[in-house]
Structures are given as structure tokens and as C-alpha cells.
Amino acid sequence: MKTFSGLVLAALLMVSASSVADVNSSVGDAGSPGLYRVKPGDTLWDISEEYYGTPDVWGKISKENNVPVPIHLQPGKVLNLDALMPPVPESFPGIVTHLTGAVWHVEQGRQRQPLAMGDDVQVGSLLETSFDGFVAVAFADGARITLPSRTRVTLEKREDGRGVSVMLAEGRVESRIPRTESGKPHFDVVTPTGNLGVRGTHFRVAYNDATATYGEITGTTVSVLEGLVDASFNVGQTGVAAGQGAWESEGEFGVVELLPSPRLHSSSEGLNDSLELMLSQVPKAELYRVKLATDADFFNVVQDVSSPNHQLEISGLDEGLYYLHLTAIDSNGVEGMPSVEMLYYHPVGAQVSYRQGEWIFNWNSRPRSSYRLELSASSDFSHLIVDREMTSSKGAYVRNLPEGDYFWRLSVSHDDEEASHVVGTGQLNAEARSQ
């Protein structure tokens, strides 16, 4: 087994949103991928299954191409297959449906520009997310992709002109593809090596090269949440069912059961306006990943963090309701099954107001914590007018304070910690009285 650390990434693959053999390898005329050249041993049932995902279309192939007998086909004969299916809807332009952090957009022949909500994404566009960036793109044919932080992709049309090819240069991409009337793919994700054909609509792809600084694994991993993957690596082939993952690295490959999802054991408002999470431990987990979003579909992701510890601390959140997407990652870098939790976050924070001659201080509670309110006429708190310690979060008030400028701060300490942390500070003056 290989050691895994940092963000879960994987390498070198191509994922198509349905499972078919490479029809284009048997086309009759270059530039006409809908023309299939018969190979020795082919039957109309096989071709129907290969091209449309079901053997039941063989009768239509027979009628369209004047082939009355479905077996003993003449090798080299060219069959017209595209004429049997309704036209595939145009995929481009895509549109940005969710975006947080810094995301850049480069169209062919143009300078890099910040991407914004509602922007169109055209063929040949390069998208790049920063360390805190996240973007979701919806295409006209119903396909949707999400790109988390530190990801770079180029969006192209597939070689057969149908649908989208996501050229993944770095990072991760998660795709949701609508089911089609056939098994023929209209979407794929491409990286330098490997080919994974997917029956199903929900899959993850990631890429990591040898120069990456946030993961030690180089190679390919795939996690199958729905459907079936036919994985063709440089070193061999394998099938991967829903609930399984596959990995390829350094000339080896294998199939594993996806780790079960961790659960949210507890959460609390940490010091310094942070959210502390404790997840249930998952056997064989090398890494835990948490995504926080403001929507249940996880298109508006505001944080995406990973840690080798099942206890995580997340900072920089605004007060509000969040959805949590929790996964565990094994030593091969294969990301496991997800669970979804929901919580309301309110930081400890402190607020002050003035009413009828009283300064009123309020703050949110934190379990097993004590609070200290200090008030001084000097900004360095060298001379304290008020120095009050409390174990309650019911707040405090100060009466009969003469007019003038005063400075206040609220500190919190946890029962298990010796140090205290300032969670609120401010100034009291005549202007504040009038608010």
C-alpha cells in the first residue's frame, strides 16, 4: 500500500458518462463517427448493445441498413447507426450557476478574467479555481460539473461532436449527467492516461501529477457512487461497481470497497470564531474530507477541507445554516461513500448595545467555557474599570458609566485549556450611545 496525505487527488484517466466500447475505432469514414464498420464475429445484437446500451435496437439497425439476418455479418460492411437516434441537444454554452472565492476564466486568444455568476462558458474555455475557489457549471444538455479548489480544466466538444469533454489538468471534478435514451456517451473527462467508461450519472474524477505538493499519490483513483465503470488502465482492465473504487499507481492497480461514510459525532463553536467538528472514526481511513455548503445539492460550497484527524476546525464562516458532506479516504487515495449532515453555526462573538443608561453585552454560549469582560479607559487595558469573570452566557451590563471613550474586550477560555482567547472587542463612546 502507498502512503496518502493531503487533499485527495488522482491521476490520468478518461471518464465517459455511459459504458460503451470505442465505437469510433470502427467507424467507416473519418469525421463520420455514426458509421460503424463491422468486425469479424459481430452480430446486430452485439452492435446494438455496444452502441445504444441495449440489444433491443437490433431490429431498427437491421431495417435502416437492409441487413435481414442479425448474425453472420459481412466484415467491413459499414452500418449507419446515428440515424436511429434523436439528435443530441447542443451542450454549449454552459452557464455559471454557483461560485465562491476566486475563479478565473480564459477564452481562446483572450486574457485571464475573473469568472462571475451567470457568465457563459464557451467551447475552448479554461477554468481555474484558487485555493478558496469553487464553481458549478450547467450545460444546455443537462450535464452539470462542479470544480473545487485548486482545479484547472479546459472545456471542449467531444471528438464526435456530441456533448462535452472536460480536459482535467489539475485537481478534481464531480459530474452529474442526465440519463440518455441510449448507452452512447455524450460527456467525458479526460486526463493523460487511462479510460473509464461509466454506466450511471454520478461519478468523481481527480488528477495528481508527480509535482503536486498536497498529495503523495500519483496515479488514478475513481469512486463509483451510481452505476458501473469499465476501467482500462495502462497496466490492465477491471470493472468497478457502485460502492467500489479503483486505483492505479506505479504500475499496479486494484479494486476496493469504498470506505463507509463518517458521521458527525459532535460540533461546537470554537474560539476565534471557528467551528469544531468531531467525526466518527472510520477503520482504514487515512484522511477525512468535509465540504460545507449553503444548499443541499452542494453547488454553493463555501469550505472544502481535509485532515488526517477525525477532529477538524473550520474558520471563516458566517453565522447560518450549513450542509456538511463527509467522506473518508483510504491509503490508496480512494474517496469513500458520503454522508450529509446539517447544522446551524453561530460563533461565540460579542455584541454591545446601549439602552436607558446601561451598556449591555451579549454573546453566544460555548459548552464548558468561562467568560471574562474587561472595560478600560485606555486601549492597552492597563487600568481596568470593569474586570468581571462569568460562567454564564446570559450576558452582562454596566450602569452609570460617565461620558467618555472606553475600550472593552470579551475573552473565553475552555475548561480543558489554560489560555483564553479574545472573541470580541470594541470602543464605547457618544456615537455608540446614539446607535
- Centroid of chain to Cα 100: 12
CA pair distance 386, 314, nearest whole angstrom: 33
CATH of the domain at 105: 2.60.120.1440
- Which H or E element spans position 52? helix 44-52
330, three cell numbers: 483510504
Nearest to 423 by CA among 345, 364, 376, 338: 364
Give a yes or no: residue 202 inside a domain. Answer: yes
Give a yes or no: residue 1 inside a domain. Answer: no
Tell me how long the chain is: 435
Give a yes or no: residue 29 inside a domain. Answer: no
Give a yes or no: residue 6 inside a domain. Answer: no
Give a yes or no: residue 26 inside a domain. Answer: no
Note the pLDDT tens digit of each residue in 249-265: 888 889 999 999 999 98
Same domain assignment for residues 209 and 165:
yes
Look at residues 319, 345, 371 and tell me which one is the last residue of a structural domain: 345
Are 264 and 277 contacting, i.e. CB atoms less than 8 angstroms apart?
A: yes
CA pair distance 105, 102, nearest whole angstrom: 10
What is the helix, strand, coil percentage profile of the chain, to 5? 5, 45, 45
Same domain assignment for residues 228 and 104:
yes
CA pair distance 206, 289, nearest whole angstrom: 14
Note the pLDDT tens digit of each residue in 148-160: 888 999 999 887 6
Same domain assignment for residues 127 and 235:
yes
CATH of the domain at 364: 2.60.40.10
Return the SS3 of 46.
helix
Same domain assignment for residues 317 and 372:
no
Give a yes or no: residue 414 inside a domain. Answer: yes
Same domain assignment for residues 195 and 113:
yes
Going by the DSSP 8-state scheme, the letter that residue 371 receives in this structure is: E
Give a yes or no: residue 191 inside a domain. Answer: yes
Are 220 and 12 contacting, i.e. CB atoms less than 8 angstroms apart?
A: yes
421-430 per-residue burial string, b: 16 or more CB within 10 A, e: under 16: bebbeeebee
Same domain assignment for residues 161 and 224:
yes
286, three cell numbers: 487515512
CA pair distance 374, 410, nearest whole angstrom: 7
Mean pLDDT score, 390-401 = 83
Same domain assignment for residues 102 and 130:
yes
Same domain assignment for residues 361 and 325:
no
User: How would DSSP label each residue in 71-87?
Assistant: SS--TT-EEE-GGGSPP
Look at residues 326, 345, 364 and tell me which one is the last residue of a structural domain: 345
Residue carrying C-alpha cell 467568560: 371
The predicted structure's pLDDT at residue 35: 80
Same domain assignment for residues 203 and 310:
no
Amino acid (one-letter) located at 154: T
Look at residues 204, 235, 257 and tell me which one is the last residue of a structural domain: 257
Q: What domain count does the chain have?
A: 4
Least confident window among 179-193, 230-244, 404-418: 179-193
DSSP β-ladder status, 320-329 and 339-345: antiparallel
The predicted structure's pLDDT at residue 335: 92
Note the pLDDT tens digit of each residue in 319-374: 888 999 999 999 988 999 999 999 888 776 677 888 888 898 888 777 778 889 99
Give whole-number Cα distances, 386 to 168, 365, 393, 407, 414, in Å. 59, 21, 17, 10, 22
Same domain assignment for residues 414 and 337:
no
307 Rama class: left (phi>0) / alpha (psi -120 to 50) / beta:
beta
Say whether pLDDT at 5 is over 70: no
Same domain assignment for residues 174 and 39:
no
CA pair distance 168, 223, nearest whole angstrom: 16
The side-by-side arrangement of strands in the sheet containing 339-345 is 301-307, 287-293, 320-329, 339-345
Note the pLDDT tens digit of each residue in 250-303: 888 899 999 999 999 888 766 556 788 999 999 999 999 999 998 888 878 888
CATH of the domain at 73: 3.10.350
Same domain assignment for residues 56 and 166:
no
Note the pLDDT tens digit of each residue in 89-113: 678 899 999 888 899 998 766 788 9
| Range of the structural domain that residue 367 is part of | 350-433
Give a yes or no: residue 161 inside a domain. Answer: yes
